[in-house]
Amino acid sequence: PTKPAFETPFAFLNKLEKLLINANMNIDQDWHSWLNLTISDDDQFWFNNNLQPQMSWKEARKIFEKRFTCLARRLEKAKQAYNIRMEKGESLSDFCNRTLNTMNEGQVEDCEGMALCFLGALPKEIGNAISTTWYARHDDNELPQSVKEIMDITDSVTIAESCLLYTSPSPRDRSLS
């Protein structure tokens, strides 16, 4: 048996999107004809009946991912999204990207609950800096409605350079808390 060229539909669509953008094509106008070239004969009927040329790339992508993503993998990625944690040595930027990719692969909606999970996944000092900035900009009763709202803050908040790369607390530091 041959191994698929891409591990996931998400990876395939990301590559197609990069190709179209790098070729200076209008992705919302040109996606249909290019994606159609990649569809197997077995899936052509489905493609013709579910992906219309007038759809936006975002709409078509969502439908394509739903069709070709294995339910077990989607469930696993969704669970990972809700339990994600920043890893030792990971930059804040990399963690944000990994979170969004995991959410996309698990088809997890970017909502208030996911935003709060994301805040809780950050190391305490980074989470506190972001929360402080959030409350300085918003009403005390207003919670973040999406992970992307929080990520907008991470782009504009100046966090001490030592906080941008997460390192685990030493055993001595843990005993002091």
At 110 the three-state DSSP class reads coil
> What's residue 18's pLDDT?
95
What is the band of 63 on the pLDDT scale with cuts at 50, 70, 90? very high
Q: Which two tokens stand for residue 174?
A: 């843990």
What is the band of 76 on the pLDDT scale with cuts at 50, 70, 90? confident
Q: What is the mean pLDDT of the chain?
A: 84
What is the per-residue burial (b if ≥16 Cβ within 10 Å, else e) of 19-41? ebeeeeeebeeebbeebeeeeee
Higher pLDDT, 122 or 167: 122
Q: Which two tokens stand for residue 11?
A: 């990876």
Cβ pair 154, 118 in contact under 8 A: no
What is the band of 3 on the pLDDT scale with cuts at 50, 70, 90? low
pTM above 0.75, yes or no: no
What is the band of 169 on the pLDDT scale with cuts at 50, 70, 90? low
> What's residue 98's pLDDT?
94
What is the band of 8 on the pLDDT scale with cuts at 50, 70, 90? confident
Which of the residue ranges 7-11, 56-60, 63-67, 70-74 would you say has the lowest mean pLDDT? 70-74
Quickly list DSSP for 115-171: HHHHHHHS-HHHHHHHHHHHHHHS-TTPPP--HHHHHHHHHH----HHHHB--PPPH
Task: Give the mean pLDDT of 79-91.
Answer: 91
- Residues 105-153 have pLDDT tens digits of 888 999 999 999 999 999 888 888 888 888 888 887 899 999 999 988 8
